[in-house]
Amino acid sequence: MTATWLPTLITASPEEGYDLAVTLSRVAVRKTQPDGEVRARLRQSYDEDFGALIAISHVVATNFRTVAAANDYWRSAG
Amino acid sequence: MTATWLPTLITASPEEGYDLAVTLSRVAVRKTQPDGEVRARLRQSYDEDFGALIAISHVVATNFRTVAAANDYWRSAG
Amino acid sequence: MTATWLPTLITASPEEGYDLAVTLSRVAVRKTQPDGEVRARLRQSYDEDFGALIAISHVVATNFRTVAAANDYWRSAG
Amino acid sequence: MTATWLPTLITASPEEGYDLAVTLSRVAVRKTQPDGEVRARLRQSYDEDFGALIAISHVVATNFRTVAAANDYWRSAG
Amino acid sequence: MTATWLPTLITASPEEGYDLAVTLSRVAVRKTQPDGEVRARLRQSYDEDFGALIAISHVVATNFRTVAAANDYWRSAG
Amino acid sequence: MTATWLPTLITASPEEGYDLAVTLSRVAVRKTQPDGEVRARLRQSYDEDFGALIAISHVVATNFRTVAAANDYWRSAG
């Protein structure tokens, strides 16, 4: 993780904002469990656990709220 | 998922906004588990798990908050 | 669910707003599990599960936040 | 539950606002499980379940956010 | 709990605001389970349960959001 | 934890704001379980528990929302 992984919360479109929300959700996991091998192993089990998938979706929704507010909901886009 | 799945957060009505919140909730699941067959199999079990249904409803509520704010709560609609 | 289940987020009173929050919470469940018979069966078990009741209350709280903001917290009411 | 259980979100003090948040959290439980005897029985077990106590505290926090915003955080009080 | 446990949401510093968020999180637990002996017993087990610790942190975060907004994020402090 | 662990919510960049959100999430855990040895032991198990990692990510997202709002989303940065 370099100093530039999060230069800004501003994105060109809602979709890019959503992708940023996904990234924000993953970075916290990486910062807590930095070992990529362990994460890969854990991934295998949670990928088939719907409860985990829903929980991830909730984290993304929380981060998307932040990113959307930062971009004034892209109201002036398009 | 093409570049156009989320062109805007603005919707014509609260109900369309709610449907968009449902979509936003599902996309995070799809992005985490892209294999449609796996998702279909998992669906079968969670569809009968009330805890999961409530958790999904919570994600939708979080996303609906974002969409509703983006649309200024459709105050000037109708 | 017809096109008119959610014509507006504006309600005449806080209590009606709360009821709308309950409705918003239930619709997500219905959209995910459209089979009413399955839902009725699941209901029987979760009705006696306090964890589920608390989780539902959390979803309602999240939706009530949205509805309350939409109505400017009914500050000018009454 | 009469038509007057929630006449307003405005309270005279932060503490009264907190109590209203507790009430808001309980009403959703009552609306989902209206049978008082069942709730009393369930209460006995969840009262000794710390996970449930924390979950309730989370619901109260979510509702308190709404009530506090409605009262402009009681900034002009006192 | 006296009438004065929550006189205001305004604090002199972010750190005091954080401590208030911790207090807000605990009061809901106390109001639900007023028996101090039971709480002390439960504490022993949850203190060693990381899931519970994370859940508590989530409640604190939700309350801190409210307190921080009330204080306009202490922007004019210091 | 000294009196200065949280002097301000204002950070120079989004990335520093994210790191502050991680810190805010950890302090609540430390305040609840002050014994570092116990936390270290618990860490070993939760580090391999994906559910816990996702839950932590959710707490960070909630705190990041607060920090981002405090910094007006770093809109004028860069």
- pLDDT for A2-54, tens place per residue? 558 999 999 999 999 999 999 999 999 999 889 999 888 888 877 778 889 99
Alpha-carbon gap, residue D43 to A20, rounded angstroms: 42
CB atoms within 10 A of CB E36: 9
Contact residues for C41 (Cβ-Cβ < 8 A; gap 6+):
none
Nearest CB to E68; choose among F4, F38, F70: F70
Secondary structure in 3-state letters for C13-76: CHHHHHHHHHHHHHHHHHHHCCCHHHHHHHHHHHCCCHHHHHHHHHHHHHHHHHHHHHCHHHCC
- At D59 the pLDDT is 98
Alpha-carbon gap, residue F33 to F30, rounded angstroms: 5
**Is the model's pLDDT at A1 over the cut of 70?**
no
Residue F24, phi then psi, degrees to nearest 5: -55, -40
Distance from CA of F40 to the nearest CA of E (A): 11
CA torsion angle D59 D62 D65 D67 (round to 10): -50
- At E78 the pLDDT is 53
Nearest CB to A61; choose among B3, B6, B63: B63
Nearest CB to D61; choose among E24, E42, E46: E24
Buried b (16+ CB within 10 A) or exposed e, D40-75: eebeeebbeebbbbbbbbbbbbbbbbbbbbbbebbe
- At F2 the pLDDT is 53
Q: For residue E55, give the nearest of D51, C26, A50 by alpha carbon.
A: D51
Q: Is C62 on the interface with D (CB under 8 A)?
A: yes
pLDDT band at residue C1 using 50, 70 and 90 as cut-offs: very low
pLDDT band at residue D1 using 50, 70 and 90 as cut-offs: very low
Q: What is the pLDDT of residues F11-67, one digit of tens each?
A: 999 999 999 999 999 999 999 889 999 888 888 877 778 889 999 999 999 999 999
Q: What is the mean pLDDT of residues D62-68?
A: 98
Q: For residue D54, give the nearest of F59, C29, B58 by alpha carbon.
A: F59
Chains in touch with D (≥3 Cβ pairs < 8 A): C, E
Q: Is B58 on the interface with A (CB under 8 A)?
A: yes
Nearest CB to B62; choose among A18, A22, A62: A62
* Residues of chain C neighbouring D6 (CB-CB closer than 8 A): 13-15, 18
Q: Is D7 on the interface with C (CB under 8 A)?
A: yes
C-alpha angle C9-C10-C16 in degrees, rounded to nearest 5: 95
Worst-scoring range by mean pLDDT, A18-32, B24-38, D30-44?
D30-44
- At E62 the pLDDT is 98
- At B11 the pLDDT is 97
Is B55 in contact with A51 (Cβ distance < 8 A)?
Answer: yes
CB atoms within 10 A of CB C54: 23
CA-based R_g, chain C, Å: 14
| Residue E71 and residue E9 in contact, taking contact as beta carbons nearer than 8 Å | yes
**Is the model's pLDDT at B70 over the cut of 80?**
yes
> Scanning the structure block, which residue is given the tokens 């957060």?
B9
Is E47 in contact with F55 (Cβ distance < 8 A)?
Answer: no
**Is the model's pLDDT at B42 over the cut of 90?**
no
Q: What is the pLDDT of residues C21-68, one digit of tens each?
A: 999 999 999 998 899 998 888 888 777 788 899 999 999 999 999 999
- Give the DSSP H or E segment for A18: helix A14-32
CB atoms within 10 A of CB A78: 9
Distance from CA of B27 to the nearest CA of A (A): 8
* Residues of chain B neighbouring C26 (CB-CB closer than 8 A): 57
* Residues of chain C neighbouring D28 (CB-CB closer than 8 A): 22, 53, 56-57, 60-61
